[in-house]
Structures are given as C-alpha cells and as structure tokens.
A and B are shown apart, each in its own frame.
Chain A
Amino acid sequence: GAGVSQTPSNKVTEKGKYVELRCDPISGHTALYWYRQSLGQGPEFLIYFQGTGAADDSGLPNDRFFAVRPEGSVSTLKIQRTERGDSAVYLCASSFTGTGSYNEQFFGPGTRLTVL
C-alpha cells in the first residue's frame, strides 16, 4: 500500500510563471485535501475534494489558484502568474471518506515551491 505521493518534490520557478503540482492519493480514498505551509507556520487549508468535485475551496487565497480532480483520484493544483509570496511547501492529504468523527488524513511529503 503506497502512501500519498506528490510530484515534483521541489519546484523552482520565476515570478509570473505558471506551475502545476500533482498529488496521487491513497487508492480508494474519496476525500483529498490541499494545504499550504509557510516557513515556521502550521499548514493552512486550501481546498477539499469529495470525489471529483471541490466541496470547499474557501482556503484558496485568490483566483490565481485553481485545483482539479477530474477522475476522482489524482489532483493537480495550478498556480498562475506566480508571486514570491506563493513560495511555500504545498501538502496534499487524503482520507477514506472525509466525514465522520474519525477522519484520519494521510499526508504526502509535499512539494517545496520557490518563486524567484
């Protein structure tokens, strides 16, 4: 049983460029989450998918950020016109159902994004 995987592990880009970050959740997990973690801070929620649909995207900071999960498995976080302030570790997590009082989320190793 593979865990959550994320690619790339590191991404360096220039200000203004477009980036895509990929997340492969644990097989069979219907819920998928994206978080962002800045240096010295805890992870902050970005978006939550239940199946193919974004059930809650209230954490996305602005319209430069977008995420998809077209087949209910792999998800891609897309950032347009990157800014230096977007530099952070982007974490993906998945869980079996996303609901209930015992909803353990399994995290991937993260993608460290650096915007120069």
Chain B
Amino acid sequence: SQQGEEDPQALSIQEGENATMNCSYKTSINNLQWYRQNSGRGLVHLILIRSNEREKHSGRLRVTLDTSKKSSSLLITASRAADTASYFCATDQNSGYSTLTFGKGTMLLVSP
C-alpha cells in the first residue's frame, strides 16, 4: 500500500521558476527521502531528512519536514528543463530496518 501522497500530481512551470511539491504520510517515520525518476526507470536519490530535522538543503533543493502534520515539501529553485521528471517521496518507518514506502509521485514539466 502507498504511504505517501504527493501533491500536486502534475506541475508545469517555466525555466527559472521555483517548483514546490508536497508529500503527506500516515504513520511515524525514521526518515523521509525524495527521489527523482526519469522516463519511468531508475530512481535517483535526491535528499534524506531525518525525523528530528526540520529543514535540509542540497544545491537547488530545499526539503522541509513537519512531523506534527506528517508532511514534507520539496522546493526546487531556479528550475531547468533538465529537472523535468517524476518526483517521489518515500518514508522509512520505524521498523528496525529500512524498507521504503513510496507515494504516487509528482510529474514535473519544466518548459524552456
């Protein structure tokens, strides 16, 4: 079953604009991770935020986590056409070992 729900399902923006994607989940987590997927194939790990962290940055990426609301957001600043992809949040729940539970993803289209 899917734990996370990304919002929006699809997002279309122009190059240079910022893109914000949101993720909500249902159960307590150990950490939350964001992945990118191009053309429905391999997933690329973008960033991991632990349950005791509230914000994390990596290059043009900014992730926030609000465990009280069970939600996270991914912000991509100054987007580029190459950012066009599907983005998934995945939660790592407190089960003693790690198996990821993914949402359905947000399809981002960045037009030149």
- Please indicate the chain A residues that have their CB under 8 angstroms from the CB of B105 in the complex: 41-42
Question: When the two chains form their complex, are residues B41 and A110 in contact, meaning their CB atoms are under 8 A apart?
Answer: yes
Say yes or no: A108-B98 contact (C-beta < 8 A), given A41-B104, A101-B50, A102-B31.
no
Interface size of B by CB at 8 A reads 29
Q: Give 5 A-B pairs besides A93-B43, A107-B45 with Cβ atoms closer than 8 angstroms.
A: A33-B99, A42-B4, A101-B31, A101-B51, A110-B41
- 23 chain-A/chain-B pairs, Cβ below 8 angstroms: A31-B98, A35-B100, A39-B40, A40-B104, A41-B104, A42-B2, A42-B4, A43-B88, A44-B2, A50-B97, A56-B99, A89-B40, A93-B43, A95-B98, A98-B97, A102-B31, A102-B48, A104-B45, A104-B48, A107-B43, A107-B44, A108-B42, A109-B42
Question: When the two chains form their complex, are residues B102 and A44 in contact, meaning their CB atoms are under 8 A apart?
Answer: yes
Q: Is A80 an interface residue when CB atoms closer than 8 A count as contact?
A: no
Q: Is B96 an interface residue when CB atoms closer than 8 A count as contact?
A: yes
- Please indicate the chain A residues that have their CB under 8 angstroms from the CB of B42 in the complex: 91, 107-110
Interface contact tally, CB-CB below 8 A: 78
Q: Is A45 an interface residue when CB atoms closer than 8 A count as contact?
A: yes
Q: Which residue of A lies closest to B107 (CB)?
A: A40
Q: Which of B40-74 contact A (CB under 8 A)?
A: 40-45, 48, 50-51
Whole-angstrom distance from the CB of A86 to the nearest CB of chain B?
A: 17
Interface size of A by CB at 8 A reads 34
Whole-angstrom distance from the CB of A106 to the nearest CB of chain B?
A: 7
Q: Which of A49-101 contact B (CB under 8 A)?
A: 50, 55-56, 59, 89, 91, 93, 95, 98-101
Q: Is A7 an interface residue when CB atoms closer than 8 A count as contact?
A: no
Q: Which residue of A lies closest to B50 (CB)?
A: A101
Q: Which residue of A lies closest to B35 (CB)?
A: A107
Question: Complex: how many Å from CA A48 to CA B30?
Answer: 17
Q: Which residue of B lies closest to A100 (CB)?
A: B98
Question: When the two chains form their complex, are residues A48 and B99 in contact, meaning their CB atoms are under 8 A apart?
Answer: yes
Q: Is B101 an interface residue when CB atoms closer than 8 A count as contact?
A: yes
Contact of A102 among B40, B41, B50, B104 (CB under 8 A): B50
Question: When the two chains form their complex, are residues B33 and A104 in contact, meaning their CB atoms are under 8 A apart?
Answer: yes
Question: When the two chains form their complex, are residues A103 and B43 in contact, meaning their CB atoms are under 8 A apart?
Answer: no
